[in-house]
A and B are shown apart, each in its own frame.
Chain A
Amino acid sequence: MVLHEDIWETSSGIPLKPVYTDADVPDSSHHGLLGQPGEAPFVRGAYPEMYRSKLWRIFQLSGFGDPNDMNQRLKFLLDAGETGIIVKHDRMTDDHLYDVDHPEIMERREDVGLTGTVTVGLRDYEKILEDIPIESVYCKPGGGVPQSAPYTQACYWSVAEKRGIPLKALSGTGQSDFFLTYLGCPMREQIPPEAALRFNLDLIDWCTERMPKWVPVSIAGYNGADSGLNAYQELGSVFANAIEYIDGALARGNHPVEDFIHGIGGVNFRTSMDIFEDIAKLRAARKIWSDLLQSRYGISDEKKLRLRIHVVTAGSSMTYQEPFNNIVRGTVMALVAALGGTQSLGVSGYDEALSIPSDHAHLMSIRIQQILQEETNLTAVADPLGGSFLIENLTDELERRSLEFLEEIENRGGFIASIADGWLMRKAEEGNSKLAGDIETGKRRVVGVNVHPIDDSILEVEAFEGRSGQQSWENAMERLTELRHTRSETGTKRSLDDLCRTLDSNDNLVPAVMKAVQADASIGEIGHSFRKVLGNWTPPSNFF
């Protein structure tokens, strides 16, 4: 979405000139000061040969209905050429950690399984992953909010243990992101941000000692951006969040920064239809991270300064009207991600505004990426736009604005303080209302919505129905009842008592959660333990 008529500027408000020349290139980008791809500050790419040595990972959000539905869809996606898998959970049950007979779910049973797959406990995770080679496939188990991340990761790791796969062999990420649950999509019940920070630091500590290829916390700038933050606000707040993790982990004193930084240095960003700004954003992100780790934390090993990026294309750019147009939008945003040097990519389904992806929409998201990888020469050259007057100018400008925004957050007490008092939410809201206003006035054009609309059913798409909520709910109730009747009640109870004691202490919670899921505690019992000990967070209301 680009501004037209009398104002030409990027989505974040950086003015665009009709043409750029050598005079617009910042001094720092001249004379090779930017370094080469694979060299600090990595502005030109994370690796020397980029996609010649390793293609970006095709990594699509997926999940609906029962664990069996999830398993089938994962196999379908892997067969189609996906190179990493994401187990997306039902937000109602898994992100809230509710059993399916919780009163909040009972009245909404038709929604069960609509936004992801429903699990009642570890046994469901075994079904989800049946016949999937988790020793070799990169995986994100769980949608990744802090209160559910220990549960979903503990389930995934427990399946690996049962199969005899050493944890150190697993590669993947748990996400466990603040932006979704404390900014754009607050849940009805969730642990307070301070407790979430403790969860994430526990995960970082635990994985640092055991899982060199795992990224337990992957900050999701995407969720900030699609909640309304602009490009430099997205970058500034992502790094403010990372600083809280680094400082928190350092304050514990369990590990030197060089040892745990890998677990924080895999993040995700959004690409939108603003081609140039978002290419520049990914380049600026790598530079800010590298410089920050070097100057503030004194890391000298260059390999540790490398930011690895996953990109998700903007779901909010996908229109309800004329959904097939979204295949084009997905292609453009995927191209942006590759030109910015992403390591991994998920393309939103063309039916994003209607439903979770149908199998057809999912396949198209993969095909878009495969066509870019196989047919275009896009993968032949690292940082193909490096040296462009415009891109270097925007990269520099975004770096400057992002660092300013980061400083603003730090001056007001840091990332969590800025979430807790509603400040960041207000920033996102300002962005949202500006965008809505610009679409309303036509300043921002969206084909088939506010320009060139036609009313023709030829462009309609059926919403993906999946398994009915009633059936997903009934099936989950059956599995939950069986779990409750076939487990060792005393063993489960002991594990939950231990979990509560651990939550109430300074001990790392991960082993206690692992024990609870392995003792067949249900998801709701784990959630209940969290809420009982840690309480519930009320989102700020002053953003509105």
Chain B
Amino acid sequence: MPRVLIAKTSLDGHWRGVNVVARALRDAGFEVILGGEMLASDIAAMAEQEDLDLIGLNVGGRVEVAERIIATLSDAGLGDIPVFAGGTLPSSGIERLAQLNVQCFPPGSSMKEIVSAAVKLTQDDPLNKA
């Protein structure tokens, strides 16, 4: 069962979107860890300890905070864990994250699309193929 961490990058508080996506992933057979609001270092530590297959970031704030998390993961040698993101991302933010191989799902995205992207990301993951 692939393990996915769902974390919030910002302290805006809104859990609604996170919870809906987490539930859809759980129903699709993922083991979901709801991490709440996490700093980059917390996410990297958890990725290390929990052997994550996928990280989902809820970006309720600005895209730079998500970019910092990706950079921290990469510095920690965890850059091979696929990351996807959702939230109130403007199109400029979606483009910036796409350059870091982060697929984005803004409000209104279909759960089916999100789940199939998550499945594909974990299947493509070389760690998971073994």
Contact = CB atoms under 8 A, between A and B. Distances in A.
Chains A and B form a bound pair: yes
Interface of A: 91-92, 95-96, 103-105, 107-108, 110-111, 114-115, 180-181, 184-188, 226-228, 316, 319-321, 353-355, 429, 432-433, 436-437, 440, 446, 449-450, 460, 462-463, 469, 541, 543-544
17 contacts: A96-B11, A108-B65, A110-B65, A184-B14, A184-B16, A186-B13, A188-B36, A316-B16, A321-B108, A432-B16, A432-B20, A436-B24, A460-B91, A463-B92, A469-B62, A469-B64, A541-B34
Interface string B46-79: 0000000000000001101100100000000000
A544 B23 contact: yes
Residue among B22, B24, B92, B107 with the most chain A CB within 10 A?
B107
A286 B34 CA distance: 39
B13 A91 contact: yes
Nearest to B64: A110
Contacts of B68: 107
Nearest to B63: A110
Given A105-B11, A354-B90, 4 more contacts: A184-B16, A188-B36, A227-B15, A432-B19
A185 B90 contact: no
B20 A95 contact: no
A449 to B, nearest CB: 5
Contacts of B20: 432-433, 436
B11 to A, nearest CB: 4
B110 A91 contact: no
B39 interface: yes
A284 B57 CA distance: 40
Interface in B86-121: 88, 90-92, 106-108, 110-112
Contact of B88 (A103, A108, A353): A353
A469 B66 CA distance: 14
Contact of A111 (B10, B92, B107, B108): B10
A108 B15 CA distance: 18
Kindly list the 4 A-B residue pairs having the minimum CB-CB distance in the complex, ordered from nearest: A185-B13, A111-B61, A463-B90, A320-B107
B16 A92 contact: no
